[in-house]
Structure 1
Amino acid sequence: MNSLLNKKLHTRISPFTLKFVSSLAVVENPSSFPSENDQSPSHFDPLQFFNDYTKSRQCTTRNTKILHTHLLRTDLLQSNIFIANSLLDSYCKSSAMVDALKLFDFIADRTVISWNMMISGYNQNSLFEKSWEIFCRMHSSGFEPNEFTYGSTLSACTALQAPTFGKQVYSLAIKNGFFPNGYVQAGMIDLFAKNFSFDDALRVFNDVSCQNVVSWNAIISGAVRNGENMAALYLFRQMCRGVFLPNSFTFSSVLTACSALEEVGVGKEVQGWVIKRGAEDVFVGTTIVDLYAKCGKMNEAVKKFSRMPTRNVVSWTAIISGFVHKDDSVSALKAFREMRKMGEQMNKYTVTSILTACAKTSMAEEATQIHSLILKAGFYSAAVVGSALINAYSKIGAVDLSEMVFREMENIKDLGTWAAMISSFAQNQNSGRAIELFQRMLEGSVRPDKFCTSSVLSIVDCLNLGRQIHSYTLKIGLVSVVSVGSSLFTMYSKCDSLEESYKVFQQIPDKDNVSWASMISGFVEHGCADQALQLCREMLSEEVIPDQITLTAILTACSASRSLQTGKEIHGHALRKGVQQDVLGGAIVTMYSKCSAQKLARTVFDMLPQKDEVACSSLVSGYAQNGYIEEALLLFHDILMADLTIDSFTISSIIGAIALLNRLSIGTQLHAHIMKVGFNSDVSVGSSLLTMYSKCGSIEDCCKAFVQIEKPDLISWTAMIVSYAQHGKGAEALRAYELLREQGIRPDSVTFVGLLSACSHNGLVEEAYFYFNSMVNDYGLEPGYRHYACMVDLLGRSGRLKEAALFIENMPIEPDALLWGTLLAACKVHGDMELGKLAAEKVMELKPCDAGTYISLSNICADVGQWEEVLKIRSQMKGTDVRKEPGWSLV
């Protein structure tokens, strides 16, 4: 042994190890171990020796191998199992599990402690599959495990997410008499809780009457982990009524449950328990800060934080996240700078929180500074940090920087970064790049998850592509996930495939409030208000409690279907459930306005504590649409005087009211105000302005209003075409249509009504036929009665009466009274009595009480001198009790 102390080896072995090796010299002969009664300090104590060694920094693989070498020479490993197990423990503590396994296989007389050391050693080094293998070897070798064996093995099963293996271990523990053991029970509870089987965890907890604090803590933390926060509070109350007192671990879990439920009152009671028990440490203090922060009580959170004697990075992150949650980015940054000033090291969660605070256009400079700090601190390798950085740049509008971060994370990209990048493209309306990135995921080794799939579906507007993604979700089983299912049926609804949308909705197993609200809104947007209300009844029959989003959707359905009674019921339900009046105020006012209940709408409006844009716009438009023009103008004036915010919809509504009054002077005053507040380039305001000028007969001002629109949409172009048509400017209307097409805008059926009307007023027969056929062949639009009426009117004005009659007869839809009446009017102009009689007879069949038809036919006969026919027609009017309303004039 003295040879170990030569100069050569002295240079290779640390002094601390030499001390240990020197101590081992006294135990070359096993008989040298001190006896139980020997208290001499000069004797070697192997327990103290290995206890000091494993706790020291000298416990490295190299030093442990040196000790191993000496022990092999002294023959102690064969004769003393304590020394062997201690050396085995040293290998495990120094993470040398390969060497530990070799030593383990070398030990001839293994004990249960030897097996336990190997299992816990593999656990400590995250080699959980090896832990399971060792346990299986132990069981097949006939060794009887103890409670520590079962507990460590259950921990390995938990980490492996292998509840089946865990159940086998637990069954064996019960068989061998460890059923009431708290350590084993806590391990099994933890296994089920971390594998999202809280009911099974609760069953295990209730199986044993002699629970301990560890078991209570395991079940309470398991409830919190599985989102069963109310259950966690109930279990905590049960624990407090028993003999086991909660400790700091219990308080941390319960306070986390209070934070999730935003139960600040209960949280304060728990805080009282903490003070009473003297159980506050840095972790409990942090959860208290987090509770107040998440409940929006930032003053109390800051007060508690400032009184904490010790703070760690989690405490700082909690207070920063609280400010972010309150949308107080300035205070969040201030706290972050203070944290850095205090020398506290940040972690990846701190970084993601502060990046969320900087995700604003006004804080682009701060975001780039945080980016530089991330690079300097080495957090770039954390996928969650990369995702937060991509999201921050996306919110700022710097998609190019988002892409740069994404490219730089090429080697460590995970699903989170892919989802963040796809979401970035989606938020910035870059559907092409989002779909391209999604395709790259499918082609590569990265499998899109629910977040990626939902994001890309949110911007898909091509039915064929949407169906392909639908097939993919079916293939990988994502279609049953509520967020993916909701995105799918929303995509179908957006692509005008309402039937497929509803089919997908029906297949979602666990519909949430968002999915119900989205489907109800989908029906409303497609003009199916009755189906929307039926869906509301189905939702209520399934005992789904509607939230603010769902109630808003239902009120919108009531507005669309003019269902006043149902709307009143929803209003009453909201009042009973304590939904604040201002939350649904705009939707309720809109519902009453659309249902022509203006007094109720005004009553709700006057009761609102805060009048927002929606409520103001709804009431103004309600007054205007229901003919209360003066009230609409007075209300608009009151809004301006009260300095309330007005939006483009409010202005559009009031312009529509002015157009009905035909008061151009008021319109020009309003136009001046619009230019002052900067709404003149808004597409909806501009469209309303040009419509107003058109109805007031000023086509020049109409054109000026159109030119001021920054990006004219289909409605603007259509309004301009209709205005030209109404003022007899057919050539200008056709030119506007060609410009519309050059802009890549797809015309709709209303556009073609304007076009055909322009052709009708200018006698452009051939052009009208061209556009009528183009409507069907080029755009797949089915002509309606208004389109056919325009064509009949055009042919009638051009004197092509027989062609008009033939056109009516060849229509694929049954002609109505308007079409035959249009032909009758043309016959009167051109004096075609024979065809006029036919048209009149058709109108009388469809509308027997229409006095105008009798008068028109009578006038045709009078024009050609057939007075007998005139008398006959007059007598028919008397016989059917049809009376001509007397004419009157304001002059």
Structure 2
Amino acid sequence: MLKEPAIFAQLIQSYARSGKLEKGRQLHAHLVTSYGTPSTFVANHLLNMYAKCGDLAHAVALFDQMPQRNLVSWTTMITGFSQNDRFPEAIQTFSSMCAAGIRPTQFAFSSAVQASAALGWLASGRQLHCVSLKLGLDAERFVGSNLADMYSKCFCLPDACRVFKGVSEKDEVSWAAMIDGYAKNGEFDEALMAFQEMLQEETVAADQHVFCSALSACAGLKSEELGRKLHACVVKFGFAVGNVIMSNALTDMYSKAGEMESATRVMGTSYDGWNVVSCSSLIDGHVEGEEIEKAVSIFVECKRRGINPNEFTFSSIIKACAGQAALEQGMQLHAQVIKSGFIMDPFVCSTLIDMYGKCGLLSSSTESFHEIQSPTYIAWNSIISVLAQHGCGREAIVAFHRMVSGHVEPNHATFVSLLMACSHSGLVEQGLRFFDSMKETFGLDPREEHHSCVIDMLGRAGRLREVEEFISRMPAEPNAFGWCSLLGACRTHGKKELGELAAEKLMKLQPENSGTHVLLSTIYASEGQWEEVKAVRRLMRDRRMKKLPGLSWVEVEKKTHVFGAEDWSHPKKDEIYKKLEQLWIRIREEGYVPFTGAVARRVEESEKERLLRHHSERIAVAFALIGSPAGKPIIVKKNMRICVDCHKAIKLIAKVEGREIIVRDNARFHHFKGGACSCRDYW
């Protein structure tokens, strides 16, 4: 029989607190050698020591050898599994304890519920909730707090609220679970209301974790005003000085609110304020504000300070490259991602897919996707979006079916990309079926962006009567994108009256948008109604509206060159002009006939032809042909829709030059090769 068990228990406890695992193992061996099997009392302390030190193998072996196990033994094992992230075993041990007829304590319940929350196992969590109700433990504050947290992490906020209201004593843990649950589920207003209600309870004091959750809600709302008030509270409660977690939360809040000066000030210039979390927030804020150079400079400074980027840093900076179509820089970042070991991260992979897609390299985008072993909905959404941008409607549909068959649930963003893919490929009937399936099959209520996609899809196909019928059935009027799509369709298919209606609606929604007036004047010009054209242009002058200039840009030798129509400001203007004239002759020999209807000006036909061959995209293509290596694909970006005549011409330029030419306009990509375009002349 073991002598003086209390002394040995105290010694084991000290080893557990100090993490002296080897000392604990030696004592355990001494006890077995000298006294035989330890008593349940001492064995429980040994279990706790092994669990606290992370040695679950010895804990399990000891537990299995114990001739008698009591409530403390089971609770120690459940807590040990949960604290060491072995969540399935924690839940299994809890079930075994109940099967052995032992009534669990609140601590065992809390650990099991925490394990269910960590795994996202809602069914397991509900079963634990039922058991807690049966035993009358659901209102106990630790159990109730963890149940509320579990439901919020499993995206069941109504259940979380019901449990929270039933907790007898709301301490800080319960409030933190609710506020954090609301914030993480996108219920930002509710999170801040709960925070305010908590402050009104005099018995509860806010800690740094509650403040961080409240700041996260402010960040989600992009509310600088509320964020500043919270910042004042943080200072008042004494959490501001030297608190890295709070500094990160404040930097993130100001960055998401677009207050980059305040975010930078919070982060400071000292090394203490610079860490991977704060830097990632600052980079993301600059990216969202389209301050790409500043985002890149922060990234470079991080590297200089020895701060290694994490998956969020890489995602943000790659997103910046995607927005700027900065292919060379994006490829360098791809190499760094591989070197840093983040290539399998779903967020990083998704931004790489998007970056390559927006830079025009569809093959690299699909290769990045195929490297993912188990794509998440984020990766699926990215590849479907890229396929839509490149006009690969049938491929996008195949990807969608693969996504669903792989038991990955589509969301609203999935259907926006899918409908756009159908629209740009003329797959109208398939698109309409997908729209209907949103509610019928997937339980998703179509939003205004989905209705606008259908308007765009029907309009491109010239089914304008169906567009009118569809609009009449919509729960609300179309948004600006919907009316703009209809106006563009009316220009293409010559429907003046409907175009006038769309233009009227757009002018009310976006009175400063000069594009509406330009499209309307183009419709009048195609009808030969020059007086109406003059009236629209006079209206633009009276409102001091300027037509957005058409610009095209191309990267040659790591430098971006920007061109406008009739733009001869480039140092190589003579070479460019000569190349354009050569191309004009060669494509005429291939059967090119200028489509002068693309010029909405009342001038001679010869003047229209001259204006067409000096459009910005043709100048950019000509410059790239003389400035880039033979055989290398040419990628031109344009801020407007490519005109019909340039589309015809570039198909033939690609043929006579034997080059692949990729043009990204403001809606999609066109891949020109061998006298044909990937859009099959439907865009």
How far apart in 1 are the matches of 2:472 and 2:21? 75
Partner of 2:624: none
CA distance in structure 2 between the aligned counterparts of 1:776 and 1:374, rounded to whole angstroms? 71
Which of 539, 546, 567 is equivalent to 2:198?
539
Q: Contact between 1:488 and 1:501, CA under 8 Å: does it hold in 2?
A: yes
Q: Deviations for 1:548-579, whole angstroms, at most 9, x for unmatched residues?
A: 21122122122222333443344344444443
User: The residue matched to 1:617 in structure 2 has which SS?
Assistant: helix
CA distance in 2 between counterparts of 1:554 and 1:838 reads 46
1:387 Cα deviation after fit: 5.4
The letter of the residue matching 1:445 is G
Distance of aligned partners of 1:416 and 1:714 in 2 relative to their CA distance in 1, 3 Å threshold = farther
What's the counterpart of residue 800 of structure 1?
463
The structural deviation recorded for 1:410 is 8.7
Structure 1 residue 718 displacement after superposition? 0.8
Q: Deviations for 1:64-105, whole angstroms, at most 9, x for unmatched residues?
A: xxxxxxxxxxxxxxxxxxxxxxxxxxxxxxxxxxxxxxxxxx
1:450 is aligned with what amino acid?
Q
CA–CA distance in 2 between the matches of 1:520 and 1:633? 34
Gaps (5+ residues) in structure 1?
1-282, 284-310, 325-331, 347-371
Q: Deviations over 1:175-202 (max 9, x none)?
A: xxxxxxxxxxxxxxxxxxxxxxxxxxxx
Within the candidate set 282, 291, 295, 1:632 is matched to: 295
Which of structures 1 and 2 has the larger relative contact order (alpha carbons within 8 angstroms, sep 6+)? 2
User: Which amino acid in the other structure matches residue 829 of structure 1?
Assistant: T
In structure 1, distance between residues paired with 2:46 and 2:281: 43
Offset of 1:877 from its aligned partner? 6.6
1:506 partner letter: K
Query: Cα deviations across residues 675-730 of structure 1 (Å, max 9, x unaligned)?
Result: 22222222211111111111111112212222333432110111011111111112
Change (3 A) 1:827 1:479: same
For residues 816 and 450 of structure 1, the distance between their equivalents in structure 2, rounded to whole angstroms, comes to 53
Report 1:35-184 matches (<5 A). Answer: none
Flag the structure with higher strand content: 2
Pair 1:525 & 2:184 matched: yes
Q: Quick one: structure 1 residues 317 and 384, their matched pair in 2 at CA, closer, same or farther if it must change by over 3 Å?
A: closer
Normalised by the length of structure 1, the TM-score is 0.55
- 1:388-427, aligned counterparts within 5 Å? 388=48, 391=51, 412=69, 414=71, 416-417=73-74, 420-421=77-78, 424=81
What are the equivalent positions in structure 2 for 1:752-831 lying under 5 Å apart?
A: 752-831=415-494
Aligned to 2:638: none
- Matched residue type, 1:599: E
Identity %: 35
Q: For residue 170 of structure 1, what is the aligned residue in structure 2?
A: none
Establish whether residue 451 from structure 1 lines up as the match of residue 110 from structure 2.
Answer: no
> Are positions 1:512 and 2:174 aligned together?
no
> Which residue of structure 2 lines up, in the alignment, with residue 96 of structure 1?
none
Q: Secondary structure at the match of 1:611?
A: coil
Counterpart AA for 2:210? T
Residue 554 (1) aligns with residue 214 (2)? yes
Matched, 1:320 2:41: no
CA distance in structure 1 between the partners assigned to 2:190 and 2:361 by the alignment: 43
Change (3 A) 1:386 1:745: farther
Alpha-carbon displacement from aligned partner over 1:345-379 (angstroms, at most 9, x marks no partner): 65xxxxxxxxxxxxxxxxxxxxxxxxx98996435
Q: Give the counterpart letter for 1:689 in structure 2.
A: L
Structure 2 residue 493 is matched with structure 1 residue 493 = no
1:480 counterpart letter in structure 2:
A
CA gap of 1:471–1:648, structure 2 versus 1, over 3 A, is same
Q: Check 1:721–1:419 CA distance in 2 against 1; reply closer, same or farther (3 A cut).
A: farther
Deviations 1:370-401 (A, max 9, x none): xx9899643578673585489579x5687xx9
Match of 2:252 among 579, 582, 590: 590
Match of 2:549 in 1: 887
C-alpha change, 1:710 and 1:641, in structure 2 (3 Å) is farther
Matching of residue 672 in structure 1 with residue 335 in structure 2 = yes
Match for 1:778: what amino acid? T
Q: Partners of 2:429 and 2:383 in 1: how far apart?
A: 22
What RMSD in Å do the two structures reach over aligned CA positions?
A: 3.7
Name the residue aligned to 1:611.
Answer: 274
Indicate how the Cα distance of structure 1 residues 508 and 701 shifts in structure 2: closer, same or farther if over 3 A, else same: same
Equivalence map 1:222-237=2 (5 Å): none
CA distance in 2, matches of 1:655, 1:590: 19
CA distance, structure 2, for counterparts of residue 819 and residue 559 of structure 1: 30
Cα 1:397–1:615 shift into 2, 3 Å: farther
Partner of 2:397: 734
Which stretch shows the higher mean deviation, 495-504 or 553-562?
495-504
Does 1:684 find its partner at 2:347?
yes
TM-aligned CA distance change 1:683 to 1:321, over 3 Å? same
In 2, the alpha carbon distance for the partners of 1:814 and 1:373 equals 83
Distance across 2 between alignment mates of 1:510 and 1:501:
16
5+ long unaligned stretches in structure 2? 552-561, 564-683
- 1:601 aligned partner: 263
Query: What one-letter code is carried by the residue in structure 1 that aligns with 2:104?
Result: P
Task: Say whether the 8 Å CA contact 2:327–2:359 is kept in structure 1.
Answer: yes
Q: Say if 2:283 is the partner of 1:620.
A: yes
Q: Distance in 2 between matches of 1:390 and 1:318?
A: 10
The partner residue of 2:141 within 482, 497, 504 is 482
Query: Greater helix share, 1 or 2?
Result: 1
Instruction: Between 527-536 and 741-750, report the one with greater CA deviation.
Output: 527-536
* Map of 1:29 onto structure 2: none
Bigger-Rg structure (1/2) = 1
What's the CA shift string for 1:577-602, capped at 9, x where partnerless? 44333242211221221222222222
Q: Deviations over 1:273-324 (max 9, x none)?
A: xxxxxxxxxx9xxxxxxxxxxxxxxxxxxxxxxxxxxx95466445423422
Q: Which amino acid aligns with 1:725?
A: A
Shift in Å, 1:831 = 1.0
What SS class does the counterpart of residue 102 from structure 2 fall into? coil
Check whether the contact 2:52–2:80 (CA below 8 A) recurs between aligned residues: no
Residues 1:676 and 1:836: Cα distance change in structure 2 (over 3 Å): same
Opposite residue 498 of structure 1, the aligned amino acid is L
